[in-house]
Structures are given as C-alpha cells and as structure tokens.
Amino acid sequence: AGTTRRGFLRSGGSAALVVGFTLPAFAPRAQGATPAPNPMVTRGAGPALNAFLRIAPDNSITVVCGPAEMGQGVLTAIPMLLAEELDADWSRVSVMQAPADAAYANPMFGMQVTGGSTTVRAHWEPLRKAGAAAREMLVAAAAAQWRLSASELRTEKSYVIAPKGSKLSYGALCSLAAKLPVPAQPTLKDSKDFKLLGKPLRRLDTPVKVTGAARYGIDAQVPGMLIAVMARAPLPGAKAQSFAEADAKAVPRVRQVIALPSGVAVLADGYWAAKRGRDALQVKWDLGEHATLGSAGISNMLDAAAAMADVLARDDGNVRDAAANSATSIDAVYEAPYLAHACMEPMNCTAHVRGDEVEIWAGTQSQGPAQGILGQVAQVTPAKVKVNTLLLGGGFGRRFAPDFCIDAVLLSKLSGKPVKLIYTREDDMAAGFYRPASVARFEGALDAKGVPTLLKVGVGTPSIMAASGFMKIPDSGVDPFALEGIHDHPYDISNQRIAYGRAEPGPQVWFWRSVGHSQNIFFMEGFIDEMAAAAKKDPFEFRRALLTNQPRCKGVLELAAERANWGRALPAGVARGIAL
C-alpha cells in the first residue's frame, strides 16, 4: 500500500474537475468507468469520468466511493477524507457508489473488495492526496485568472479567496483547473488543522435510509424479471436425485424449474409463488460422503485434530522442561460451533445475461473478484460484466462469497430472463458459509509464586484460506486465521508451543466478522482467567504482570480497569470480569 504504487490520473473536460488515483497495474481497465445513478447524490454530479471527485459548475461536489456500504459508514468516511483536504463545503458534498472497476481497488488488497476493517486505513492517504491535489489545481486556476501568486491565496468551504476578500467558487474554476497537471505530491494538512476528520458529522446515507429511498440488493427491480427460490443441498456435496417438477409448476405463477449444481430453483412471477413452488418440489437427495455428518462427529474430529496438532506456529523456550518443573498444572478444552453470519438482509442477487453481456445488482463486498468469477460462469470476458453495488443489509464477510451471485447469473443465462434470486431466512442460516467450528486444547503451568511458565495450545479447525479459493496456506502449513488471537497474544510467557491441526468435517467455512479472533480471543482470555484463578491472583493484576514488553496493551488494560472501577466492591449477585 506504499505511495509508490499509486499515481494520480490526468483528467480533463469542460464541465467538471476530476481527480483520483489508480493502481498502475490496473490502469488499462480503468478507462471508461461509469458510476451508476445513486439516491445519495442530491445534486448534479458532472460527467462520468475515472475519478473519485467531481466538481460541477453549480459548486456541488460528488465523491465516488469504491468500497461497499454495509452499515459501517464508508459512504461518509470516504467523502470526509477527500473533502477535508479539498477544503470543501460539507453541506454541498454528495456521494456516489463506484462501479466495479480496478481503478477503485482497495490499495491494501490490490482488488476492489470491502473487508478486514481496511477501508479507512487503505484510503487514508490516497483519498486525502486526491483532495489536496484538486485544491492545489483550483488555487492555481484562480491564481492564473487573478494574475496572483498561488501562495497569496487561501481556500475555505469550496471557494478560493484572494488577499482582499475576492472569491471564486470551485464550480467556476473547475473547467480551467481540469486542464492543469495533477500535482504528484500535494501538501497534506497537519491533523491539528482538520475541520472534518475526527468531528461528529451526520452520515450522508441516513436521509435515504430514513425515507426509504435507499436501495439495498433486495430492492433491485428489472423489467420482466422472475423471482427465484432454491431448494438447496442439505449437506455438503449432496445432489438432487429426483424432484417433483410438475408439482412445482402446478403452483400458480410458477414459470420454470431449473436444476443447478447447488440445488433446484423455482422461478416465478413473485417471491411467494416461487417459495410455494420450491416447497412443492419434494426433492430426494443423495447425501453422499457426508450422509452421517452430525455435531458429535464434528466435535470428535476437531478434538482429535487439536490433540494431534503438530504444525507449529510458535515454539519458544523448552516446553518439556517447563512442564516437568512446574508447581501447578492447568488444562482446559474450549469449543466453538459453526456460526452463520445472520445478516439482516438475506442473500440475494439480481442478474441479467444478455448475449455476451452480464449485469448484476447486488449488495456485495467483492465487486472486483465478482467480475472475473461471473465472467467465467457466463463465459464472457470480465469487461462484459457490470456490477451495480447496492447497499448491504449487513455483510460481516458473508457477502464477500460469490455463491448467490453465481447462482443468479446461471439462472438468468439458463432461463433467458432477468432473475432475482432470494434466499429464504431458513436458507440463509442453513446454506453455508460459516465461521469455522473450532476446538482448542490448552495446557499451562505456574511456578511456586504463581507466575506462568508454560503455555501449550493445539487448535483443531478447518482452513478459511483453503476454502477461499483465492488464498494459499503458507509453506509453514499454518493458516494464520485459524490461530490469530492465540499465536500472536501479547503475554510474556517464557515457554510456549502453539500448533495447528487442520481438520475438514465438510461444511463450507468462510470469513466471519473478526475471523479467527472471534473464537480465539474467548479461548485465550478464558484460559488466562483459569491460570489466574489457579495462581489465586486478581485477573487484572495477573494480566498486567505479563505485559511488561507490551506498553500499549498494558496501557489499554489499565485504562479499562480504571474506567470500570476495578477492585471496588460489587452488590450481591453482580460479577465483573476483564479481558484484553
């Protein structure tokens, strides 16, 4: 994500100033990207050009946002980054969702995706540079018009201001400024001069959500579309042996029944008809190799993998000697189940395949990869796949997966119609992709003073990296997602052995908000509490003593204890815990 990988786009035009950045490796595909109309844009956005910023002659400003909005606030955060350096009038700023195009790639990933809590971190510098460069170009344009030095001018609320108070609006200057070269290294503000960043501002997407004008994926409407509901395989690898197609078609308004590798779809003129048709299918499934899959079997498999874990992520000191010389030994086994993402808006995608062109309307966290994947599905080039990113009713990693988009495109291609595929709530819970189930076996040892001398952990869990299809497990054999929060814990314990035991019971696993930390922090902090209890020590003081080499973590822990009045007596029936 270094600045040397980014360059500013040269841009021109008579009606709007356009400034942005692209990753040079993706530059050829960045030509001609056109953001789709969006209800967040309340004023004229100017012509559609490759950039993050448009300044129209009426002095309205539109920022084009590449990441997807799923409630986390990027449709406001991204404009704030640019508007701060631009010295823009925030009341005149609108936001527009970007198209799927490599020009809008997340600099930390090199592709247009939203995840990993990276959006602000990744765009912090390039979006601020885009705003600062535009401001310098506007100042240069005003200086040329007034025949003054740029150093004599200042900017404020979308105006360039001369020493004697004369003003020119950004909108009036945009045509001239757009013809000027883009500064390669514009000067950025000192944080003490920020007027927008770090300040409480009203979100730009709130009004359309309140009024109902906001469009989520499930709101997409395409003339002539059919609604699809699928009978999905109940277990991984299960195949439909037979189904009652005639019974499904007997339901009024049902138009087609189509079998796919992932199940059997019923297409109808409305959702309720499609749902009733799906329920009438009476599918008989060949459950395949996972026919006997159950919770007990999964637990046993993961527990065995944890017990036999031998792919080392950490091997410090001498674990054997530490165990032999301990005064107190502690062991514990922790288990976490598969978890569905449970997004408020069930998975859905509307697709229209027209010859060699594909267009989808979806709430997706992976617009960039979707172009390539759906191009393969429909057998067209990625450039022929148009992705309209609508608002996401929750993502949490689930909408990074391509399954709902793949099936929608297949159904459109096979039916010859635009198709909106909607998962029922039950399907959304049962049709995979899950946070991995996991078992972690912990062993610890304390010396005579109650100081921990040993930590040994074996984790048995599936690999998200392997399941992703686009990531490769490192040569070490350790999937870092499986152990994050354990192998990189902050505590100073001299002898440690932390190992991974991969096991794949069958269900599809996927990225789930905070990924491995979501279960591993519970495991790790739970065991730290158990060691503190065995040492007969206060859990806060026990942790603090192990953070000598981690001043930031120690400071956070101390502040949390202070704010929580740690140590103060509690009423009967009230308990208090602490974790890091």
Residue 399 has pLDDT above 70, yes or no: yes
Give me the pLDDT at residue 474, please. Answer: 96
33, amino acid identity: A
**Measured between alpha carbons, how far is 99 from 18 in angstroms, rounded to an integer?**
16
Cis preceding-peptide flag for 52 (omega within 30 of 0): no
Q: Count Cβ atoms below 10 Å from residue 335 Cβ, excluding itself.
A: 17
Q: Which two tokens stand for residue 517?
A: 């930390």
Q: Residue 423's Cα: distance from chain center in Å?
A: 20
Give me the pLDDT at residue 21, please. Answer: 35
Give me the pLDDT at residue 39, please. Answer: 59
**Measured between alpha carbons, how far is 360 from 368 in angstroms, rounded to an integer?**
13
Give me the pLDDT at residue 255, please. Answer: 98
Give me the pLDDT at residue 239, please. Answer: 93
Burial 289-310 (b: 16+ CB within 10 A, else e): ebeebeeeebbebbbebbeebe
Q: Which residues 6+ apart lie within 8 Å of 568 measured at CB?
A: none
Q: Which pLDDT tens digit goes with each residue over 184-210?
A: 899 999 999 999 999 999 999 999 999
**Measured between alpha carbons, how far is 395 from 432 in angstroms, rounded to an integer?**
14
Share of the chain above pLDDT 90, in %: 87
Beta strands, E only, 179-238 = 226-232
* Lowest pLDDT segment from 49-63, 362-376, 431-445: 49-63
Q: Which pLDDT tens digit goes with each residue over 403-460?
A: 999 999 999 999 999 999 999 999 988 878 999 999 999 999 999 999 999 999 999 9
Give me the pLDDT at residue 234, please. Answer: 87
Mean pLDDT over residues 214-221, rounded? 97
Q: Note the pTM of the prediction, 2 decimals.
A: 0.89
What pLDDT band is residue 469 in, cutting at 50, 70 and 90? Answer: confident
Distances in Å between the Cα of 231 and the Cα atoms of 192, 288, 294, 536 are: 57, 17, 21, 55
Q: Which pLDDT tens digit goes with each residue over 562-575?
A: 999 999 999 999 99
Give me the pLDDT at residue 38, please. Answer: 61
What pLDDT band is residue 280 in, cutting at 50, 70 and 90? Answer: very high
Cα-flanking dihedrals φ and ψ of residue 287, to 5°? -80, -10
Give me the pLDDT at residue 321, please. Answer: 96
Q: Round the average pLDDT of the chain to a whole number and report it.
A: 91
Distances in Å between the Cα of 351 and the Cα atoms of 7, 215, 229, 321, 405 are: 34, 16, 14, 62, 8
Q: Count Cβ atoms below 10 Å from residue 382 Cβ, excluding itself.
A: 18
What pLDDT band is residue 42 in, cutting at 50, 70 and 90? Answer: low
The answer to whether 516 and 484 have CB atoms below 8 angstroms apart is yes
Q: Which pLDDT tens digit goes with each residue over 475-516?
A: 999 999 999 999 999 999 999 999 999 999 999 999 999 999
Q: Tell the residue number behind the tokens 């025949």, with chain if given.
A: 147
Q: Which two tokens stand for residue 460?
A: 């048995």
Residue 385 has pLDDT above 90, yes or no: yes
Q: Which two tokens stand for residue 550?
A: 């981690």
Residue 139 has pLDDT above 60, yes or no: yes
248, amino acid identity: A
- Decide which of 21 and 351 is more confident: 351
Q: Which residues 6+ apart lie within 8 Å of 106 measured at CB?
A: 66, 67, 112, 113, 114, 118, 119, 122, 123
**Residue-by-residue DSSP string for 489-535:** -----SEEEEEEEE---SS-B---TTTTHHHHHHHHHHHHHHHHHHT
What pLDDT band is residue 23 in, cutting at 50, 70 and 90? Answer: very low
What pLDDT band is residue 43 in, cutting at 50, 70 and 90? Answer: low
Residue 4 has pLDDT above 90, yes or no: no
What pLDDT band is residue 14 in, cutting at 50, 70 and 90? Answer: very low
Give me the pLDDT at residue 30, please. Answer: 34
Cα-flanking dihedrals φ and ψ of residue 22, to 5°? -145, 155
What pLDDT band is residue 40 in, cutting at 50, 70 and 90? Answer: low
Q: Which pLDDT tens digit goes with each residue over 109-131?
A: 999 999 999 999 999 999 999 99
**Measured between alpha carbons, how far is 408 from 404 in angstroms, rounded to an integer?**
6
Residue 15 has pLDDT above 50, yes or no: no
The answer to whether 463 and 479 have CB atoms below 8 angstroms apart is yes
The answer to whether 53 and 64 have CB atoms below 8 angstroms apart is yes
Sign, Cα dihedral of 93, 98, 103, 108: positive
Residue 70 has pLDDT above 50, yes or no: yes
Q: Which residues 6+ apart lie within 8 Å of 539 measured at CB?
A: 528, 529, 532, 533, 577, 578
Give me the pLDDT at residue 578, please. Answer: 97
